[in-house]
Amino acid sequence: MKTIHNIYICLVLSLLTHSCSKWIDVKPTDRLDEDQLFINREGYLKALNGVYVEMANTALYGRAMTTGAIDVLGQYYFMSSSTHNYHRYATFAYTESDVKTTFDNAWRKAYELIANCNVILEKCGDEPSDVLPQPYYGIIKGETLALRAMLHLDMLRLFGPIYTEENKATLAIPYVNKTGYDIAPLLGSEEIMAHVVADLEAAILLMEDTDPIRTDGVRNGNNPSGSNDLYYRQYRLNYYATKALLARAYLWQNNKADALTQAAEVLEEVFTDDQIVFPFVTFAQATHPTTPDRLFSSEVMFALYDINRDRMYDRLFSVNLTSANKLSFSAGDEDERRVDDLYDDGNDYRRRIWQTASNATVSATTNMKYADIADGPGRYMIPLIRISELLLIAAECHPDLTIATEYLNVLRTARNTVDLAPVTEAALKLEIGREYRREMIGEGQQFFFYKRNAYQSIPNHATITGVKTMVLNNYTVPLPDSETSQRN
């Protein structure tokens, strides 16, 4: 209760504050080259930076695992025509060649980066050294462990079965935690999750006394006295984001007690009288006439930095795209019924991502969340973990309905919507699912929410509003041919 009270106070205080962010130069040509790297601290940082840069590849979080295929699986968009480029994803046609290629590419890129993480971890060793002293040892090794866990978790959530007592031993994916060319065995979900949790717990221990985010916040500004290595902590899988990821992992296992513990600990620490680490977006920021913060960037706990992020909008949402290429809530017109169906309050800040965009021939309701805004907040940000997810996790996991509802209403207050008063746990769970859908569009989480909860009724891609029946087997994407072929 005290934590929720503090968050409410900080929500009010955040209305009085505003911050802007810039970023350091990121060189996307960074690659692992052991002979030239790992001879000094800068080499370790460069190797780790290379992992972050490649995570923004379109095969992963630069499209497929955020705005593209994974959100289409989550049934956000209206596409009644079978000629739409994403129709086969919306209908779970996993054997079609283009669908297979998309998920094969995601798999390959994820495990390529996991291999890079393993090289970095091997070079870090078991303790700080003259080459890699503290706090760099703790931060670099901690972030790398957390990244390895995150990539494995997302591959499990995509390619593994729904996590149940009956399915948790079913062979799913490999957990690759060492360098070399040996083919790692397929493991069941329970074993995979044990590795994920172990990596995240180790990462938390490494970063708890070394990550400056705990004392200085996100440090969104250039270091006035030297290197920016430990600045811009939103763009690194920092201490708080790692604990949030652990909460996400626990909830995937339906371990609500430990998920709640992690979520509550973070919420209590980041909303204090002394410091608000991830302040809620204000009305002025969300509704600014020229530079609206459509990503609610101050609330993002972990994001990737991509100077080409505008391509997400240009290639998926732009009004200039043909109807066969555009991800839309309408049939290419100004119909807002699907938008109205998503938001229960017209004052909701999140609704403002939907704008009427026009060109010489058409005007259409358009998702502007990732549209480029010069000098806009979070201009190059791809959000992967945000503080609102912890509120939703706490709401879902708290055993007391009253307190759980308070967590939910903290988020709704922050979004300028009315409080809810569900009278049963089932009613609360329904509202939590709706908040996920409003909150996470374009961030790749909705499909996994449905899968985790084994939803058998989901929104219908083929009609403007309404639902359809979900076959549970469709929640599991088949392992790529590139993986199965080497095991035959």
Which of 203, 215, 233, 234 shows the shortest CA–CA distance to 272? 215
Helical ranges in 160-299 per DSSP H: 189-207, 213-216, 239-252, 256-270, 283-286
The share of the chain scoring above pLDDT 90, in percent, equals 87
Class of domain 2-10+28-219+235-313+373-487: mainly alpha
Cβ atoms of residues 451 and 157 within 8 Å: yes
Averaged pLDDT for residues 267-272: 96
* pLDDT confidence of residue 7: 62
| Mean pLDDT of all residues belonging to the chain | 93
DSSP 79: -
Averaged pLDDT for residues 237-257: 99
DSSP 328: -
* pLDDT confidence of residue 4: 64
CA distance readout (Å), 206 to 53, 214, 401: 23, 13, 35
Q: What is the pLDDT of residues 105-129, one digit of tens each?
A: 999 999 999 999 999 999 999 999 9
∠ CA 355-359-360 to the nearest 5 degrees? 150
User: Residue 482 belongs to what H/E stretch?
Assistant: helix 481-484
Q: Give the pTM.
A: 0.93
Averaged pLDDT for residues 81-97: 97
- 336-340 long-range contacts, Cβ below 8 Å, gap at least 24? 336/365, 337/464, 337/465, 338/78, 338/464, 338/465, 339/365
The DSSP secondary structure of 111-150, one letter per residue, reads: HHHHHHHHHHHHHH-SS--SSS-TTHHHHHHHHHHHHHHH
The DSSP secondary structure of 398-453, one letter per residue, reads: -S-HHHHHHHHHHHHHHTT------SSHHHHHHHHHHHHHHH-TTTT-HHHHHHHT
Please tell me the distance from the alpha carbon of residue 52 to that of residue 144, in angstroms, as a whole number.
10
| CB-based burial, 45-79: b 16+ in 10 Å, e otherwise | bbbbbbbbbbbbbbbbbbbbbbbbbbbbbbbbbbb
Q: What is the pLDDT of residues 348-385, one digit of tens each?
A: 999 999 999 999 999 999 999 999 999 999 999 999 99
Q: Which two tokens stand for residue 88?
A: 């086969």
* pLDDT confidence of residue 20: 36
* pLDDT confidence of residue 123: 96
Residue 450's CB is within 10 A of a number of other CB atoms, namely: 23
The C-alpha R_g of the chain, in whole angstroms, comes to 22
Task: Tell me: pLDDT of 16 over 60.
Answer: no
Q: Which two tokens stand for residue 129?
A: 């050294």
Q: Which two tokens stand for residue 282?
A: 């204000």
φ/ψ region of 75 (left if φ > 0, alpha if ψ in -120 to 50, else beta) reads left
DSSP 211: -
Hey, what amino acid is at 456?
A: Q
Please tell me the distance from the alpha carbon of residue 186 to that of residue 188, in angstroms, as a whole number.
7
Cβ atoms of residues 199 and 145 within 8 Å: yes
Looking only at the bridges linking them, the beta strands covering 363-367 and 381-386 are: unpaired
Q: Which two tokens stand for residue 178?
A: 């060492």
CA distance readout (Å), 241 to 7, 104, 213, 248: 18, 27, 10, 10
Please tell me the distance from the alpha carbon of residue 336 to that of residue 278, in angstroms, as a whole number.
32
CA distance readout (Å), 36 to 31, 100, 126, 140: 10, 36, 21, 18
Q: What is the pLDDT of residues 398-449, one digit of tens each?
A: 999 999 999 999 999 999 999 999 999 999 999 999 999 999 999 999 999 9
Cβ atoms of residues 417 and 333 within 8 Å: no
Helix axes 2-14, 401-414, angle to 10 degrees: 10
Q: Which two tokens stand for residue 153?
A: 């978790």
Q: What is the pLDDT of residues 130-148, one digit of tens each?
A: 999 999 999 999 999 999 9
Task: Tell me: pLDDT of 301 over 90.
Answer: yes
Q: Which two tokens stand for residue 281?
A: 């977006």
Q: Indicate the burial class of 265 (C-beta count within 10 angstroms; 0-12, 13-18, 19 or more).
A: middle
* pLDDT confidence of residue 11: 53
Q: What is the pLDDT of residues 46-75, one digit of tens each?
A: 999 999 999 999 999 999 999 999 999 999
Averaged pLDDT for residues 85-104: 98
Hey, what amino acid is at 416?
A: N
